[in-house]
Amino acid sequence: DKQRSILIESASRFPPPQGVKISYGTSGFRADASILSSTVYRVGILTALRSIQTQSVIGLMITASHNQVSDNGIKIADPSGGMLTQDWEPFADSIANAANPEDLVLLINEFIKKEHIPIGGVQSAEIFLGRDTRPSGESLLEAAKQGISSIVGAIATDMGILTTPQLHWMVRSKNKGTKVSESSYFEQFSNSFRCLMDLIPREDTSSSKIVENLIVDGANGVGGEKLEELKKLVKDLVIEVRNSGKEGEGTLNERVGADFVQKEKVAPLGFSEDDAGIRCASLDGDADRLVYFYIVPNSNKKIDLVDGDKILSLFALFIKQQLSVSNKDHPIKLGVVQTAYANGASTDYLKNLGLEVVFTPTGVKYLHEKAAEYDIGIYFEANGHGTILFSEHFISWLERRINELASTSEGSEQHKAALRLLAISNLINQAVGDALSGLLLVEAILLYNGWSIQRWNELYQDLPSRQLKVKVADRNAVTTANAETVVVKPSGLQEAINIEFAKFPQGRSFIRPSGTEDVIRVYAEASSQEAADNLAKSVAEHVD
């Protein structure tokens, strides 16, 4: 039939690379950009099918996040704005690796049957496309368009150069029936920020003086550029953007960006001793991660890192306070989601606040899913990817509560606390972790508390930790259980790790195969930096 011949013809223009197996990892496909066009083309087909099946807009983002500039990748946004449903990942894997057009069409037809996708009817499909600033993005975008248009009735709408969270937000908003331009994104977040600022207690306005300028490292990527736009609308903050990716500023993710700062614990390029003590933040290459830091004076640009765990703690503490003021009797389920990479001190801190803390494997798809089980679910990876989810049920309760308080005690602390919670739900990007939206919420809470970054950092003291990666022939030879804290295969390895960390006070270590790189990651934590380094090293030797 017609559909078949279109597919066979277009697929033959995108032959897969020889001798490489491509796999859908922690958050989509990622590889050297030169081998990705067939994968992107095929994912284009997948998004068209997903859009037909869900009768909603789907997002396709071309980015490799914090990876080096020569890499690229694909992330897919489902109708809710979250990541592609895990049920479809095996299909993504299998079509990405189909050897020729005939095999590809066979796999597609089987899947269409299995999922009862009403293809070839009157159904239409729409896919929003976005890409980061990588030079390979333009031609890969073309491959995506070809994949999409090879499914009859599907159209691609190019949203241009965007951060990953902007595209996810657009998908979510479109499917909710609201405006989706880039300017509506900036408006929503800047307006909600102003709204939260207006709810800072009057007598405390002097506290705003404590919070001095903010310097942001844009990783020489798309986030820096977008922050320049956003900051024009946010009058209460003075933000200086460095590494914004302008000509001559440096290379994407090269000794800059949230991943570099978090893993190396030194200041990114473009920062100097002159900046010591100042509040700084760093975004990653597609602006879905955010960490803060400050340079320690006279330390050769060493930093004190204020990571995702601490952002999570700041958010959790603030929300818990506002909840307890706004409401005394209605039970609200507030939950916190972390991974094994969360610093042990953060978990202790959160539990001591009386919060429910749960763990999932690495990867936002798992954390997000778990957080959605609560009225308010806060999740963060230590690397700075996270957000806050508010259930619809909770939001409608909150709106009723606000109306009630407006008539009985307008302007009371209770009323204001409820309004603050509502403002947070609009200020945080609930589709996915968003460095720009997260940054505004951090800034608002620091202003509210009158806190410096140093004061914030003192919420608890991180246990020293070390991360290493070990190159192996086959990373999938390692399998894990219990949110990746226990090695199942190869047998005997977990026992060896247990023996190692038992040697160190407060020792903890785990290993797992990376979902984005061809390595085994090693994490270790102990009571001193030297001990954490040694523990990581000896565990890594067992992996080799």
**Binding site for Mg(2+): what residues are annotated?**
65, 284, 286, 288
Q: Which is nearer to Zn ion, 78 or 288 (CB)?
A: 288
Near ligand NG1 by CB under 6 A: residue from 174, 279, 521, 542: 521
Residues ≥6 apart with Cβ < 8 Å to 405: 326, 412, 414, 415, 418
Q: Which is nearer to ligand NG1, 190 or 383 (CB)?
A: 383
Least distance to Zn ion, CB of residue 539, Å: 27
Least distance to ligand NG1, CB of residue 514, Å: 3
Q: Which is nearer to ligand NG1, 314 or 520 (CB)?
A: 520
26 binds, among ligand NG1, Zn ion, none (CB under 5 to 8 A by kind): ligand NG1
**Residue 207 known to be catalytic:** no
Near ligand NG1 by CB under 6 A: residue from 383, 449, 494, 509: 383
Give me the residue label for tokens 């609009």. 426
Q: How many residues does the chain have?
A: 544
Does position 516 interact with ligand NG1 (CB under 6 A)? The reply is yes
534 binds, among ligand NG1, Zn ion, none (CB under 5 to 8 A by kind): none
Does position 516 interact with Zn ion (CB under 5 A)? The reply is no
Cross-strand bridge partners of residue 468: 522
515 binds, among ligand NG1, Zn ion, none (CB under 5 to 8 A by kind): ligand NG1
Q: Which is nearer to ligand NG1, 6 or 519 (CB)?
A: 519
* Burial class (CB within 10 angstroms; exposed 0-12, middle 13-18, buried 19+) of 341: buried
Which string of x and - marks every residue 353-382 that binds Zn ion (by CB under 5 A)? Answer: ------------------------------
Among 37, 65, 150, 192, which one carries the catalytic annotation? 65
Task: Using CB under 5 A, count the residues that bind Zn ion.
Answer: 4
Give me the residue label for tokens 């009571």. 527
Q: Site residues for Zn ion, window 57-86 (CB under 5 A)?
A: 65
Does position 343 interact with ligand NG1 (CB under 6 A)? The reply is no
Across 448-477, b (16+ Cβ under 10 Å) vs e yields bbbbbbeebbebbebbbbbbbbbeeeebee
Annotated binding site: 65, 284, 286, 288, 381-383, 512-516, 521
Q: Site residues for ligand NG1, window 50-69 (CB under 6 A)?
A: 65
User: CB of 520 within 8 A of CB of 473?
Assistant: no
Closest residue to Zn ion, Cβ-based?
65
User: CB of 353 within 8 A of CB of 316?
Assistant: yes
Residues ≥6 apart with Cβ < 8 Å to 456: 292, 306, 310, 314, 446
Residues ≥6 apart with Cβ < 8 Å to 390: 375, 376, 398, 425, 430
Q: Which is nearer to Zn ion, 284 or 500 (CB)?
A: 284
CA torsion 458-463-469-474 (nearest 10°) is: -120
Does position 341 interact with ligand NG1 (CB under 6 A)? The reply is yes
Near Zn ion by CB under 5 A: residue from 284, 309, 381, 434: 284
For residues 66 and 280, give the distance between their C-alpha atoms in angstroms, rounded to a whole number.
18
514 binds, among Zn ion, ligand NG1, none (CB under 5 to 8 A by kind): ligand NG1
Q: Which is nearer to Zn ion, 217 or 284 (CB)?
A: 284
- What type of residue sits at position 320? K
User: CB of 281 within 8 A of CB of 272?
Assistant: no
For residues 148 and 171, give the distance between their C-alpha atoms in angstroms, rounded to a whole number.
16
381 binds, among ligand NG1, Zn ion, none (CB under 5 to 8 A by kind): ligand NG1
For residues 248 and 475, give the distance between their C-alpha atoms in angstroms, rounded to a whole number.
37
525 binds, among ligand NG1, Zn ion, none (CB under 5 to 8 A by kind): none
Near ligand NG1 by CB under 6 A: residue from 132, 225, 307, 381: 381
* Burial class (CB within 10 angstroms; exposed 0-12, middle 13-18, buried 19+) of 5: exposed
Does position 47 interact with ligand NG1 (CB under 6 A)? The reply is no
Task: Using CB under 6 A, count the residues that bind ligand NG1.
Answer: 14
For residues 433 and 310, give the distance between their C-alpha atoms in angstroms, rounded to a whole number.
15
Identify the sign of the CA torsion 93, 98, 99, 101.
negative
Annotated binding site for substrate: 381-383, 512-516, 521
Local structure of residue 268 (DSSP, 8 states): P
Q: Which is nearer to Zn ion, 288 or 443 (CB)?
A: 288
Q: Which residues bind ligand NG1 (CB under 6 A)?
A: 26-27, 65, 341, 362-363, 381, 383, 385, 514-517, 521
Residues marked active site are found at 65
